[in-house]
Homo-oligomer: A and B are copies of this chain.
Protein backbone atom coordinates (compact mmCIF):
# COMPACT_ATOMS: atom_id res chain seq x y z
CA UNK A 1 0.00 0.00 0.00
CA UNK A 2 2.77 2.38 0.99
CA UNK A 3 4.75 1.73 -2.21
CA UNK A 4 1.72 2.38 -4.40
CA UNK A 5 1.03 5.66 -2.56
CA UNK A 6 4.63 6.85 -3.02
CA UNK A 7 4.57 5.87 -6.70
CA UNK A 8 1.31 7.75 -7.14
CA UNK A 9 2.84 10.79 -5.47
CA UNK A 10 5.82 10.71 -7.88
CA UNK A 11 3.53 10.27 -10.89
CA UNK A 12 1.32 13.14 -9.71
CA UNK A 13 4.38 15.40 -9.29
CA UNK A 14 5.72 14.46 -12.73
CA UNK A 15 2.37 15.22 -14.38
CA UNK A 16 2.16 18.56 -12.53
CA UNK A 17 5.73 19.36 -13.58
CA UNK A 18 4.92 18.62 -17.23
CA UNK A 19 1.81 20.82 -17.07
CA UNK A 20 3.80 23.57 -15.29
CA UNK A 21 6.62 23.60 -17.88
CA UNK A 22 4.15 23.58 -20.78
CA UNK A 23 2.13 26.35 -19.12
CA UNK A 24 5.27 28.48 -18.58
CA UNK A 25 6.50 28.02 -22.15
CA UNK A 26 3.06 28.71 -23.62
CA UNK A 27 2.59 31.83 -21.51
CA UNK A 28 6.04 33.12 -22.36
CA UNK A 29 5.37 32.70 -26.08
CA UNK A 30 2.11 34.66 -25.80
CA UNK A 31 3.51 37.47 -23.62
CA UNK A 32 6.64 37.68 -25.77
CA UNK A 33 4.53 37.96 -28.93
CA UNK A 34 2.09 40.57 -27.61
CA UNK A 35 4.40 42.72 -25.53
CA UNK A 36 7.52 42.69 -27.75
CA UNK A 37 5.44 43.99 -30.67
CA UNK A 38 4.12 46.82 -28.52
CA UNK A 39 7.61 47.43 -27.13
CA UNK A 40 9.07 47.68 -30.64
CA UNK A 41 6.46 50.29 -31.62
CA UNK A 42 7.05 52.28 -28.45
CA UNK A 43 10.82 52.23 -28.89
CA UNK A 44 10.51 53.45 -32.48
CA UNK A 45 8.08 56.20 -31.47
CA UNK A 46 10.35 57.21 -28.61
CA UNK A 47 13.44 57.38 -30.89
CA UNK A 48 11.91 60.29 -32.84
CA UNK A 49 10.81 61.97 -29.61
CA UNK A 50 14.29 61.52 -28.08
CA UNK A 51 15.95 63.25 -31.05
CA UNK A 52 13.58 66.21 -30.73
CA UNK A 53 14.35 66.36 -27.00
CA UNK A 54 18.12 66.34 -27.63
CA UNK A 55 17.85 69.12 -30.22
CA UNK A 56 15.62 71.17 -27.91
CA UNK A 57 18.22 71.09 -25.11
CA UNK A 58 21.24 70.99 -27.41
CA UNK A 59 22.62 67.71 -26.04
CA UNK A 60 24.89 65.25 -27.85
CA UNK A 61 24.09 61.52 -27.92
CA UNK A 62 26.73 60.84 -25.25
CA UNK A 63 25.55 63.68 -23.02
CA UNK A 64 21.91 62.59 -23.29
CA UNK A 65 22.76 58.93 -22.60
CA UNK A 66 24.78 60.00 -19.54
CA UNK A 67 21.86 62.14 -18.27
CA UNK A 68 19.33 59.31 -18.73
CA UNK A 69 21.57 56.77 -16.96
CA UNK A 70 22.26 59.19 -14.09
CA UNK A 71 18.61 60.12 -13.59
CA UNK A 72 17.49 56.48 -13.74
CA UNK A 73 20.15 55.23 -11.32
CA UNK A 74 19.42 57.86 -8.64
CA UNK A 75 15.74 57.95 -7.62
CA UNK A 76 16.31 61.07 -5.50
CA UNK A 77 17.05 63.34 -8.47
CA UNK A 78 14.15 65.73 -8.98
CA UNK A 79 12.15 64.20 -6.09
CA UNK A 80 10.78 66.98 -3.94
CA UNK A 81 8.34 64.99 -1.79
CA UNK A 82 9.57 62.66 0.97
CA UNK A 83 8.36 59.12 0.22
CA UNK A 84 8.95 57.61 3.68
CA UNK A 85 6.32 59.53 5.68
CA UNK A 86 4.27 57.57 8.23
CA UNK A 87 1.31 57.03 5.90
CA UNK A 88 3.49 55.55 3.16
CA UNK A 89 5.42 53.50 5.75
CA UNK A 90 2.09 52.07 6.93
CA UNK A 91 1.14 51.21 3.35
CA UNK A 92 4.62 49.69 2.89
CA UNK A 93 4.22 47.53 6.03
CA UNK A 94 0.86 46.31 4.72
CA UNK A 95 2.45 45.25 1.42
CA UNK A 96 5.18 43.36 3.32
CA UNK A 97 2.94 41.29 5.64
CA UNK A 98 0.49 40.51 2.82
CA UNK A 99 3.42 39.59 0.46
CA UNK A 100 2.00 41.98 -2.17
CA UNK A 101 5.30 43.92 -2.23
CA UNK A 102 4.56 46.55 -4.89
CA UNK A 103 8.10 47.82 -4.52
CA UNK A 104 7.28 51.52 -5.03
CA UNK A 105 8.82 51.73 -1.57
CA UNK A 106 11.52 49.29 -0.47
CA UNK A 107 14.12 49.59 2.31
CA UNK A 108 17.43 50.98 1.07
CA UNK A 109 19.43 50.92 4.32
CA UNK A 110 21.15 47.80 5.68
CA UNK A 111 19.20 48.08 8.94
CA UNK A 112 15.94 48.52 7.01
CA UNK A 113 16.58 45.38 4.94
CA UNK A 114 17.44 43.28 7.99
CA UNK A 115 14.40 44.50 9.94
CA UNK A 116 12.22 43.95 6.87
CA UNK A 117 13.22 40.24 6.78
CA UNK A 118 12.42 39.70 10.48
CA UNK A 119 9.25 41.82 10.17
CA UNK A 120 7.98 39.66 7.29
CA UNK A 121 8.96 36.42 9.06
CA UNK A 122 6.48 37.03 11.88
CA UNK A 123 4.09 39.39 10.08
CA UNK A 124 3.16 37.06 7.22
CA UNK A 125 1.87 34.21 9.46
CA UNK A 126 -0.07 36.71 11.64
CA UNK A 127 -1.67 38.23 8.54
CA UNK A 128 -2.55 34.83 7.02
CA UNK A 129 -4.14 33.73 10.33
CA UNK A 130 -6.14 37.00 10.48
CA UNK A 131 -7.59 36.98 6.97
CA UNK A 132 -8.28 33.24 7.08
CA UNK A 133 -10.09 33.81 10.35
CA UNK A 134 -12.19 36.57 8.75
CA UNK A 135 -12.76 34.24 5.78
CA UNK A 136 -14.06 31.55 8.15
CA UNK A 137 -16.49 34.06 9.68
CA UNK A 138 -17.71 35.00 6.18
CA UNK A 139 -18.32 31.31 5.37
CA UNK A 140 -20.00 30.77 8.76
CA UNK A 141 -22.30 33.72 8.03
CA UNK A 142 -23.19 32.34 4.58
CA UNK A 143 -23.83 28.90 6.11
CA UNK A 144 -26.14 30.58 8.65
CA UNK A 145 -28.01 32.39 5.84
CA UNK A 146 -28.44 29.19 3.79
CA UNK A 147 -29.57 27.20 6.86
CA UNK A 148 -32.12 29.86 7.87
CA UNK A 149 -33.47 30.08 4.33
CA UNK A 150 -33.88 26.29 4.10
CA UNK A 151 -35.61 26.18 7.49
CA UNK A 152 -38.19 28.77 6.43
CA UNK A 153 -38.70 26.81 3.20
CA UNK A 154 -39.35 23.66 5.25
CA UNK A 155 -36.29 21.83 3.88
CA UNK A 156 -33.50 19.98 5.70
CA UNK A 157 -31.12 22.74 6.93
CA UNK A 158 -27.95 21.15 5.55
CA UNK A 159 -25.30 23.39 3.91
CA UNK A 160 -23.52 21.90 0.90
CA UNK A 161 -20.09 22.98 -0.37
CA UNK A 162 -21.72 23.75 -3.72
CA UNK A 163 -24.01 26.38 -2.17
CA UNK A 164 -21.17 27.87 -0.12
CA UNK A 165 -19.00 27.99 -3.27
CA UNK A 166 -21.69 29.92 -5.16
CA UNK A 167 -21.98 32.48 -2.34
CA UNK A 168 -18.18 32.86 -2.19
CA UNK A 169 -18.05 33.23 -5.98
CA UNK A 170 -20.75 35.92 -5.99
CA UNK A 171 -19.05 37.85 -3.16
CA UNK A 172 -15.65 37.66 -4.91
CA UNK A 173 -17.23 38.96 -8.15
CA UNK A 174 -18.95 41.82 -6.31
CA UNK A 175 -15.75 42.67 -4.49
CA UNK A 176 -13.62 42.76 -7.64
CA UNK A 177 -16.21 44.74 -9.64
CA UNK A 178 -16.79 47.21 -6.80
CA UNK A 179 -13.06 47.57 -6.17
CA UNK A 180 -12.33 48.05 -9.86
CA UNK A 181 -14.96 50.80 -10.17
CA UNK A 182 -13.84 52.52 -6.94
CA UNK A 183 -10.12 52.57 -7.77
CA UNK A 184 -10.83 53.51 -11.40
CA UNK A 185 -12.76 56.53 -10.10
CA UNK A 186 -10.31 57.53 -7.34
CA UNK A 187 -7.14 57.07 -9.44
CA UNK A 188 -8.60 58.16 -12.81
CA UNK A 189 -7.89 54.77 -14.40
CA UNK A 190 -9.95 52.89 -16.98
CA UNK A 191 -12.21 50.12 -15.65
CA UNK A 192 -9.81 47.50 -17.06
CA UNK A 193 -6.87 49.11 -15.25
CA UNK A 194 -8.90 49.27 -12.03
CA UNK A 195 -9.82 45.60 -12.37
CA UNK A 196 -6.22 44.72 -13.26
CA UNK A 197 -5.03 46.60 -10.15
CA UNK A 198 -7.52 44.72 -7.92
CA UNK A 199 -6.53 41.38 -9.40
CA UNK A 200 -2.76 41.96 -9.27
CA UNK A 201 -3.17 43.18 -5.66
CA UNK A 202 -5.50 40.48 -4.27
CA UNK A 203 -3.59 37.68 -6.03
CA UNK A 204 -0.62 39.19 -4.08
CA UNK A 205 1.43 39.40 -7.31
CA UNK A 206 1.82 43.18 -6.79
CA UNK A 207 3.84 44.25 -9.85
CA UNK A 208 3.83 47.87 -8.74
CA UNK A 209 2.89 49.20 -12.20
CA UNK A 210 -0.48 50.38 -10.85
CA UNK A 211 -0.46 51.36 -7.18
CA UNK A 212 -3.13 53.26 -5.28
CA UNK A 213 -2.24 56.14 -2.95
CA UNK A 214 0.77 57.35 -4.96
CA UNK A 215 -0.47 60.71 -6.20
CA UNK A 216 -1.85 63.61 -4.26
CA UNK A 217 -5.47 62.69 -4.34
CA UNK A 218 -8.26 65.16 -4.98
CA UNK A 219 -11.23 62.98 -3.98
CA UNK A 220 -10.29 61.93 -0.45
CA UNK A 221 -7.87 62.94 2.24
CA UNK A 222 -4.76 60.79 2.55
CA UNK A 223 -5.48 59.03 5.89
CA UNK A 224 -9.02 58.07 4.89
CA UNK A 225 -7.79 56.73 1.54
CA UNK A 226 -5.02 54.77 3.27
CA UNK A 227 -7.60 53.23 5.60
CA UNK A 228 -9.80 52.33 2.64
CA UNK A 229 -6.84 50.68 0.86
CA UNK A 230 -5.81 48.58 3.89
CA UNK A 231 -9.41 47.49 4.56
CA UNK A 232 -9.90 46.68 0.86
CA UNK A 233 -6.73 44.56 0.82
CA UNK A 234 -7.46 42.68 4.06
CA UNK A 235 -11.18 42.10 3.34
CA UNK A 236 -10.33 41.16 -0.25
CA UNK A 237 -7.76 38.60 0.87
CA UNK A 238 -10.34 37.21 3.33
CA UNK A 239 -12.94 36.94 0.56
CA UNK A 240 -10.47 35.29 -1.85
CA UNK A 241 -9.17 32.94 0.85
CA UNK A 242 -12.67 31.90 1.93
CA UNK A 243 -13.27 30.76 -1.66
CA UNK A 244 -9.77 29.32 -1.95
CA UNK A 245 -10.19 27.31 1.28
CA UNK A 246 -12.89 25.28 -0.45
CA UNK A 247 -10.45 24.56 -3.29
CA UNK A 248 -7.55 23.69 -0.96
CA UNK A 249 -9.75 21.43 1.20
CA UNK A 250 -10.80 19.72 -2.02
CA UNK A 251 -7.25 19.13 -3.35
CA UNK A 252 -5.84 18.18 0.07
CA UNK A 253 -8.51 15.55 0.55
CA UNK A 254 -7.99 13.96 -2.86
CA UNK A 255 -4.21 13.81 -2.37
CA UNK A 256 -3.90 12.68 1.25
CA UNK A 257 -6.74 10.36 2.27
CA UNK A 258 -9.48 8.46 0.47
CA UNK A 259 -11.67 8.25 3.57
CA UNK A 260 -13.33 11.64 3.40
CA UNK A 261 -13.55 11.61 -0.38
CA UNK A 262 -17.27 10.82 -0.37
CA UNK A 263 -18.00 13.90 1.68
CA UNK A 264 -16.68 16.24 -0.93
CA UNK A 265 -19.12 17.71 -3.36
CA UNK A 266 -17.33 17.47 -6.67
CA UNK A 267 -19.92 19.63 -8.36
CA UNK A 268 -18.83 22.47 -6.07
CA UNK A 269 -15.52 22.80 -7.85
CA UNK A 270 -17.21 22.58 -11.25
CA UNK A 271 -19.67 25.31 -10.31
CA UNK A 272 -16.89 27.54 -8.99
CA UNK A 273 -14.96 27.04 -12.22
CA UNK A 274 -18.10 27.86 -14.20
CA UNK A 275 -18.70 30.99 -12.11
CA UNK A 276 -15.09 32.05 -12.63
CA UNK A 277 -15.39 31.58 -16.39
CA UNK A 278 -18.64 33.57 -16.47
CA UNK A 279 -16.93 36.26 -14.42
CA UNK A 280 -14.03 36.40 -16.91
CA UNK A 281 -16.38 36.62 -19.90
CA UNK A 282 -18.53 39.36 -18.34
CA UNK A 283 -15.46 41.39 -17.43
CA UNK A 284 -13.84 40.84 -20.80
CA UNK A 285 -17.01 42.29 -22.37
CA UNK A 286 -16.95 45.29 -20.02
CA UNK A 287 -13.23 45.94 -20.46
CA UNK A 288 -12.79 45.47 -24.20
CA UNK A 289 -16.13 46.30 -25.82
CA UNK A 290 -17.45 49.23 -23.86
CA UNK A 291 -15.50 52.50 -23.92
CA UNK A 292 -13.29 52.86 -20.81
Give me the interface of A with B, judged by CB distance under 8 Å. 6, 9-10, 12-13, 16-17, 19-20, 23-25, 27-32, 34-36, 38-40, 42-43, 45-46, 49-50, 53, 57, 59, 63-65, 67-72, 74, 76-79, 82-86, 89-90, 92-97, 99-103, 105-127, 129-130, 133-134, 136-137, 140, 192-193, 195-196, 199-200, 203-209, 230, 247, 251, 255, 276, 280, 284, 287-288
Contacts and interface: CB of A to CB of B under 8 A. Distances in A.
B71 A63 contact: no
Copies of this chain per assembly = 2
A49 B71 CA distance: 11
Contact of A13 (B43, B137, B208, B287): B137
B42 A76 contact: yes
Given A84-B32, A117-B196, A130-B17, A123 B27 contact: yes
A134 B46 contact: no
B64 A69 contact: no
A204 B207 contact: no
B31 A112 contact: yes
Nearest to A78: B68
A32 B23 CA distance: 41
Contacts of A103: 102-103, 206-209
Nearest to A280: B118
A89 B50 contact: no
Nearest to A94: B24
A262 to B, nearest CB: 19
Contacts of A255: 133, 136
